[in-house]
Chains A and B, each alone.
Chain A
């Protein structure tokens, strides 16, 4: 009987303690982020809207190697390679279907030229489904994105107009193998 009463009193008391603890939460800082009014801080490496960046000279970085399209697990990237008069490769069209894209960032990892990058922007809702398909003119930005001084054609050995073999950074002039003959 006594233990029963003690138990009942304990139950009542523990409920009172619970009530008090919950009440103190009323004055704590609220976790809610009032999103459209207050923009939350987005981390720089957040995987959001995909962009195509340019190199420091203002040329397209994308060399249309198709690695991003191969890496994409949902096949949302489509592109076609073409070449300009200097021998630079670039995509004739570059199309990302954002209604399929899952923002996994594999394309960014696969890209050998830092051309395709994911940005912290996530406000991509559209009323018409067709508007979710972004073309190259929508994807291409005028800046360098996350890597400011990387320029693929300055480093790679490939000769393009205005830069011959061996003129890249950290590159020696090509060796005439025949000069080594005895």
Chain B
């Protein structure tokens, strides 16, 4: 029971706790890093370095009035925010963290993540629809269109990795990167995946579904209190999943770069996974600080006219090379 085997209760408790605490801390980390990038200090008042800021935020959200608008579709309105954190937590279950550390070893791990990301789109969609508010409806529409179209080439860009790794199982994909990380042969796929992942988690610069300067707050305009908090936490868990998925697919998962292994394989794996995930979290915050939001038609054009041909071409070439090599 208390050993590091995939799916042992110890693993489940530790990973779930770590994910939830990290998602809460990300509220603070994001604001702090964003502050530093903007030459500000960010929240540094609550606790040492402001580390308790997220708990203050959560306390505020919980004690706020939990208002359901009179004009809304009440059942859908209440159900919608629950979907996204649940789907994102479920998709974290298949992320391999180290040899023997993980919640479940699914042989269709990538499909599972795509499915859960697709379910996450329902949250924004239903939330926008149930709010019965024109801005929410626009936000929900945008979220649905954006997530469904970017899911297409997010999936296709993953397929190059699947061909090279010869498996949909994320653990097998990581093991296949023991000698060479997939970012080198799959550089185009990697770029497409990062951009599509940004759009998939509705993070900046693709936050058109929220777009506070255009449509107030998009699909969560009518949400307050902990229902808004669930959307918020769901977004951060999604960011965490994406930041963990990019190293798994393209940066060798738990394998250390340049052979800088720590003595224990589990400790080494967890350490390098945390380092790589932190790097990508930082990258996403940097993107939020630096890049501007495109127009919606620009987003769609970019997706279908640039990303889709690019990912298809990448898939084609990868497949041809693998076939020609005959393995």
Residues of A within 8 A of B (CB): 8, 12, 15, 18-19, 21-23, 25-26, 28-32, 34
Contact = CB atoms under 8 A, between A and B. Distances in A.
B41 A19 contact: no
Contacts of B33: 26
Given A19-B290, A22-B290, A28 B306 contact: no
B286 A32 contact: no
Contact of B38 (A8, A15, A25, A29): A25
Contact of A31 (B40, B286, B291): B40
Interface residues of B, number: 15
A165 B271 CA distance: 91
A28 B289 CA distance: 15
B67 to A, nearest CB: 30
B41 A25 contact: no
A19 B39 contact: no
Nearest 9 Cβ contacts at the A-B interface: A22-B290, A32-B41, A18-B290, A19-B290, A26-B36, A31-B39, A32-B40, A22-B289, A26-B37
B291 A30 contact: no
Main secondary structure of the interface of B (DSSP, over half): helix
Contact of B37 (A8, A15, A22, A31): A22
Given A18-B290, A18-B291, A34-B41, 14 more contacts: A15-B290, A19-B286, A19-B291, A22-B37, A23-B37, A23-B290, A25-B39, A26-B36, A26-B37, A28-B39, A30-B36, A30-B39, A30-B40, A31-B40
Contacts of A22: 37, 286, 289-290
A137 B250 CA distance: 74
Interface of A is mostly: helix
B287 interface: yes
A62 B245 CA distance: 75
Interface in B242-275: none
A43 B102 CA distance: 60
A15 B206 CA distance: 14
A19 B37 contact: no
Interface string B21-49: 00000000000010111111100000000
A8 B305 CA distance: 11
A30 B306 CA distance: 39
Given A15-B291, A19-B286, A29 B39 contact: yes
Given A18-B290, A19-B291, A8 B306 contact: yes
A14 B36 CA distance: 22
B37 A25 contact: yes
8 contacts: A19-B286, A19-B287, A23-B290, A25-B37, A25-B39, A26-B33, A26-B36, A30-B36
Contacts of B41: 30, 32, 34
Nearest to A17: B290
B236 to A, nearest CB: 21
A10 to B, nearest CB: 12
A15 B39 CA distance: 20
B39 A23 contact: no
Contacts of A18: 290-291
A29 B306 CA distance: 39
Contacts of A29: 39
A98 to B, nearest CB: 28
A44 B36 CA distance: 31
Contacts of B286: 19, 22-23
Interface in B59-109: none
A139 B35 CA distance: 41
A23 B287 CA distance: 10
Contacts of A8: 306
Contacts of B289: 22
Nearest to A19: B290
Interface in B194-239: none
Contacts of B37: 22-23, 25-26
Interface in B279-296: 286-287, 289-291
Contacts of A15: 290-291
Nearest to B292: A18
